[in-house]
């Protein structure tokens, strides 16, 4: 039976490598900052969604020292809309650490990288391999799919992760490990896709066990995820006659920490909308906006009833809240769920 060869995959990569904003040109030395920034942004997010955010971050903060010198609020504002906001907080903390403890220079080993905030085993391996050409074996979703099909790994994810990692490490060559990691990522993204993989174009067509069995789409095996239970709540969109919106900052810890939001009730499984207005941020003539706003977080879906009110110019913000002029909303650190709420409440009202 043919054996999967790193040389075969690298030859394919040299012909078909994707052009990505953060990827160094062939033969050029990768920028560790670009590699790190892209890898953090790409966690649970698509290349298409990340590209414009990556470009904006680089234009604002061209180096890790630049990023580490700004306030977290500025980072959250630029990140707003990309989701999974803990990544932005970790990004800022990591940049600060590199600036303050490493003189603005990234550690060049997996061990050194793992000691930094927000960098786990996958990200450390990816940066070590791609930026520093260390023999490391990052395994993302694309690589999991390639390896599980190549070897027909019968065990289901996530239990199969250690075996997949070991198989990927055994394939990783001493020469060009960074290119090899990116080649496997590209193979999974462009050829070995979740549905209808283009096996006839794959450089590992012959040694692929799943293809020989005709079972490509049944790998990787996955343990069904338990669906999170629906949470519900109410959101309050208050506008002032002089053109301002009532907002507040979420707590320092927990879901959407330190992001900007309109006032809301708690989000709970047992929410009773009959009691919603008792939790309104101030006294006003409230109007229940038809419909609800739906949003899905990683661990649960959310449904929000939306109430709208307008108050006179000069109305003071309640404790813990503040007024924000409408011309600052687009640049504020609102998560997507809050942008949905504001749009739902104000559509056609301004």
Q: Output phi, psi for 136, to 5 deg.
A: -130, 155
Does the active-site annotation cover 266? no
Distance CA 52, CA 65 (A): 21
Distance CA 341, CA 330 (A): 14
* Active-site residue (options: 39, 110, 144, 261): 39
Q: Virtual CA dihedral for 185, 188, 194, 195, nearest 10 degrees?
A: 150
Cis? peptide before 236, omega within 30° of 0: no
DSSP 146: H
**In terms of C-beta density within 10 A (0-12 exposed, 13-18 middle, 19 or more buried), how is residue 239 classed?**
buried
In the chain, which residue ranges form alpha helices assigned H by DSSP?
Answer: 6-16, 32-42, 47-60, 64-68, 72-79, 86-101, 110-114, 121-132, 141-150, 161-171, 177-190, 209-213, 336-346
Structure tokens at 261: 């939001």
Distance CA 15, CA 231 (A): 49
3-state secondary structure of 176: coil
With CA atoms as reference, report the closest residue to 134 among 94, 169, 183: 169
Structure tokens at 40: 């953090």
SS3 letters for 248-293? EECCCCCCCCCCEECCECCCECCCCHHHHHHHCCCCCCCEECCCCE
What is the number of alpha carbons within 13 Å of residue 327 lying toward its C-beta?
1
Distance CA 298, CA 225 (A): 11
Task: Catalogue the active-site residues.
Answer: 39
């Amino acid at each position: 039976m043919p054996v999967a060869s790193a040389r075969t995959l690298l030859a394919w990569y040299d012909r078909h490598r994707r052009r990505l904003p953060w990827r160094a040109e062939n033969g050029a030395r990768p920028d560790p900052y670009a590699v790190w920034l892209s890898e953090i942004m790409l966690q649970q997010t698509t290349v298409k969604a990340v590209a414009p955010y990556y470009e904006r971050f680089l234009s604002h903060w061209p180096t890790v020292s630049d990023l580490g010198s700004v306030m977290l609020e500025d980072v959250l504002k630029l990140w707003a809309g990309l989701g999974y906001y803990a990544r932005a907080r970790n990004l800022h903390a990591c940049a600060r650490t590199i600036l303050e403890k490493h003189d603005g220079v990234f550690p060049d080993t997996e061990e050194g990288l793992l000691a930094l905030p927000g960098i786990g085993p996958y990200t450390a391996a990816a940066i070590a391999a791609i930026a520093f050409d260390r023999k490391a074996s990052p395994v993302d979703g694309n690589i999991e799919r390639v390896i599980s099909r190549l070897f027909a790994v019968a065990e289901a994810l996530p239990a199969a992760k250690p075996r997949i990692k070991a198989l990927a490490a055994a394939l990783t060559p001493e020469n060009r490990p960074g290119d090899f990691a990116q080649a496997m990522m590209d193979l999974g993204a462009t050829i070995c896709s979740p549905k209808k993989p283009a096996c006839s174009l794959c450089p590992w067509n012959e040694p692929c066990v799943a293809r020989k069995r005709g079972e490509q789409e049944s790998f990787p095996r996955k343990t069904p995820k338990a669906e999170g239970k629906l949470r519900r709540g109410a959101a309050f969109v208050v506008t002032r006659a002089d053109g301002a919106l009532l907002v507040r900052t979420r707590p320092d810890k927990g879901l959407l920490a330190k992001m900007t939001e309109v006032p809301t009730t708690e989000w709970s499984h047992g929410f009773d909308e009959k009691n919603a207005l008792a939790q309104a941020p101030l006294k006003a003539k409230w109007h229940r906006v038809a419909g609800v706003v739906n949003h899905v977080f990683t661990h649960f879906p959310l449904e929000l009833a939306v109430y709208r009110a307008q108050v006179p110019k000069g109305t003071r913000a309640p404790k813990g809240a503040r007024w924000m002029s409408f011309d600052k909303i687009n640049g504020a650190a609102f998560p997507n769920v809050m942008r949905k709420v504001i749009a739902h409440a104000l559509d056609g009202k301004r």
